[in-house]
Amino acid sequence: MQATATRRTERGSARQALSPLLFDVAVPVGVYYLLTAVGVGDKLALVAGGIVPFARSVGSALRRGKADYLAIMMAALFVLSLILVAFTGSPKFMLVKESFGTALLGFWSLGSAWTARPMTFYTARPILTKGQPAALRCWDHLAETSTQFRAIQRRLATFWGLGLLADAVVRIAIVERYPVHTAAGLVPAAAVAIIVALCLLSGPLGGLRLQRLLAAELAARQPEGSLS
C-alpha cells in the first residue's frame, strides 16, 4: 500500500511539474498552425500564439501578489522578441526567444549548484511539499542540517543546468536548420522531449531520495504535533 501511495504521489508531482509546460507548448503551437492554415502570416501567427504563455506568466505574477522572477523573465523575453521581430522582420526570433530564457536558467542552475540554496531547492520545493506549512518547515530544516539533502540538491542543480543548456542549443539548431513553418512544431516538440527526460531522470538522480528525506523528517516531527 505504501509503495502504491508513493507511486501515486510521484505521478501527481510529475503532472504538477509538466502541466504548465505542456499548456505553454501545446496552445501556442495549435494557435500558430490554425492561423497559418487560414492564411495568416508566420510573424502574426507566432505572436498570437505567444500571447497565451505571456498572459499566463503575467497572471501568475499578479495572482501571487509578489515578484515571480521566472514569470517576469518569460514575459520580458516575449516583449523582447516582439521588438526584435519588428526591427529585423524575421519571425525566427519568436522561435528562439525561449532558448535565451532556457540558457539563462541553465547558467543560473549551474552557478547556484554550490550555493546554500541551489535552483532546484526552489523549483522542487512547491512540488514535493505541496505548499503544506509543516512540509515547508521540514524542507528548510533539511537544507540547514542535512549534508545529504544539500549534496542531492547540488547534483540535481548541475544536472538541470547542463540539460537546460543542451535544450537551448537544440532549439537554436532546429531554427537554423528548418524553415519557420516546420521549426514552429519541431522546437516545442524537442523542448518537451528534453524537459520530460530531465524530469524522469531527476527521480533516480536524487528526486526520490529528497522525497524520502522529507517524509522521514515529517514523520520524526509528527509526535511533536508539527503536522497540524
Q: In the chain, what are the domain boundaries?
A: 2-224
For residue 61, give the C-alpha cell. 505574477
Rounded to an integer, what distance in angstroms lies between the CA atom of residue 106 and that of residue 93? 20
Contacts of 217 (CB under 8 A, 6+ apart): 138, 141, 142
For residues 99, 104, 110, 115, the Cα torsion angle rounded to the nearest 10 degrees is -150
CB distance 159 to 201 below 8 Å: yes
Q: How many CB atoms lie within 10 A of CB 159?
A: 19
Q: Over the stretch 30-59, which tens digit does the pLDDT of each residue have?
A: 888 888 888 888 878 877 877 777 777 677
For residues 127, 113, 144, 12, the Cα torsion angle rounded to the nearest 10 degrees is 10
What is the DSSP code (8-state) at residue 174? H
Q: 70 burial class (0-12, 13-18, 19+ CB within 10 angstroms)?
A: middle
pLDDT at 19: 58
Q: Over the stretch 131-144, which tens digit does the pLDDT of each residue have?
A: 899 999 999 999 99
Q: Over the stretch 111-159, which tens digit does the pLDDT of each residue have?
A: 999 898 999 998 888 889 888 999 999 999 999 999 999 999 999 999 9
Is pLDDT above 90 for 162?
yes
CB distance 127 to 172 below 8 Å: no
End-to-end CA distance of the chain: 24
pTM confidence score: 0.75
